[in-house]
Amino acid sequence: IMTSGIIVEQHIPNNNMDGIIGSTETLVTKVTSLNESTIPAEVKGQQEAMVKELAQVYKLAALMKDCCDKKDMENYKIHATELSAKLKEVSETYL
């Protein structure tokens, strides 16, 4: 959540391309490390729902990386904002 927040709240408003590129790489690494085995024990009963949420998180992170690689900041901003909101929602719902 923190990396996504930094991208949306700091790097995008400041047009910090180095920060956007570096933070996007960090975000993708963190997101791809999330899987069923990393779901906290206290939400195992909601594992199926959380796996679906994680699939959306993976998709948005991949879209961000693709946009970043193409220097498509218009769509990058859209995906970054969606991902930030989705991560907050997942955190509030499950954690």
Q: What is the pLDDT of residue 67?
A: 98
- Rounded to whole angstroms, the Cα distance separating 92 from 63 reads 23
93 pLDDT tier (thresholds 50, 70, 90): confident
Q: Residue 75, class by beta-carbon neighbours within 10 Å (0-12 exposed, 13-18 middle, 19+ buried)? A: middle
Report residue 57 as tokens.
Answer: 């998180």
Beta carbons of 65 and 31 less than 8 angstroms apart: no
pTM reported for the whole predicted model: 0.89
What does the pLDDT look like over 60-75, one tens digit per residue? Answer: 999 999 999 999 999 9
Query: Tens of pLDDT along 14-63?
Result: 999 999 999 999 999 999 888 888 888 888 788 889 889 999 999 999 99
